[in-house]
A and B are shown apart, each in its own frame.
Chain A
Amino acid sequence: MPPVAPRSGDAIFANVERVNAELFTLTYGAIVRQLLTDLEEVEEVNEQLDQMGYNIGIRLIDEFLAKSNVSRCNDFRETTDVIAKVGFKMFLGVTASVTNWDADGTCCSIVLEDNPLVDFVELPDNCQGLYYCNILSGVIRGALDMVSMKTEVTWLRDVLRGDDVFELQVKLLKHVPEEYPYKDDE
């Protein structure tokens, strides 16, 4: 039996249960606002958003793999390409692109021109230093962790800070070999 072809992000998005994006956008905004009230430092809010994103990412990857028919990606380059083309479309309904690869293929940028998280959002002056969408960096890091890639994800450009796009830099730190628990393999 021939392998099933991978499904496009559009095809998956058309078939998953969807909800009004405003509920998502406003809920996220209310959470960020509450965190800013509850935590002393903006940097703590950034860390908490990243942690929340990580916890979400380690679960979303399961749904992604279950629905996308993606087989094993051979390298980091292919993985980030799939995340940008399929993953972002599947969950957020937006297209992301991958660019700025370094020479050895371990560092790149994911660029978002459209982002449902920031509809209706303006940052007041006392939120300098806040990475409003830091939950996204956590999601990506968490998802990649689950497919054995330890990464560092940082923001290079942020529309809420005056840039024209959102740009995340994803750097592969270590590709962890899969460890089988079965001794019989030896």
Chain B
Amino acid sequence: MVREVSESCVDSLLTEMVACYCNRFYANKPELAARRIEAIGYQVGHQLSERYTMERPRFTDHLEAIKFICKDFWSELFKKQIDNLKTNHRGTFVLQDNKFRWLARMSIDPSTDNVSPLEDITSPTAESKAAQAMSMHLYFPCGIIRGALSNLGIPCAVSADISNLPACSFVVRIKA
């Protein structure tokens, strides 16, 4: 029996980590906050992939390692597999999770961020604030994926696409 904790522990920790870096340390420097959050994710991904591959033989190619992330790795973290994997066969992979767990409880209604008058609720500022907060949270799973793949010998860059919420796509670009 593997040790478990309540999901609330992880959710609370992630929420507070993002709040800490975005609102306290780097309130006016979102790029620096993003980099720190991604670095934390990278560290976590690096270590987790070490643990989850302890009893596996070495992966023979990039696709095999990516499939490991989509199946075993994702199942350990989110209790489901990635829903869809696409590739252009030139080093770019798109991993789509149709209902990404860490976004499921986030509101995309800008009005929840505001106590200001009606005009502001529909303003681009309020809209982009909500989107920015969400994207900050995504630097962490992007870092996890990058850390895991780097540990498996695949240096890459990872970004997230949330244009179809609650689906989330992670775009992995392998470095030559």
Contact = CB atoms under 8 A, between A and B. Distances in A.
A6 interface: no
A99 B113 CA distance: 43
Given A20-B2, A30-B40, A38-B25, A92 B20 contact: no
Kindly state the interface size class of chain A when it binds its partner.
Answer: 20 to 34
A60 B43 CA distance: 26
A116 B44 CA distance: 16
A24 B10 contact: yes
Kindly state the interface size class of chain B when it binds its partner.
Answer: 20 to 34
A92 B8 CA distance: 10
Contact of B36 (A17, A21, A34, A59): A34
Given A22-B48, A34-B36, A59-B12, A16 B17 contact: no
Contact of B13 (A22, A27, A93): A27
Contact of A56 (B6, B13, B76): B13
Interface in A26-53: 26-31, 33-34, 38, 48, 51-52
B76 A20 contact: yes
Interface of B: 2-10, 12-17, 19-20, 24-25, 36, 39-41, 43-44, 47-48, 51, 76-77, 79
21 contacts: A18-B4, A19-B5, A20-B4, A20-B76, A20-B77, A23-B76, A23-B77, A24-B13, A26-B43, A30-B40, A30-B44, A34-B39, A48-B20, A48-B24, A51-B20, A56-B13, A56-B15, A90-B6, A92-B5, A93-B3, A93-B5
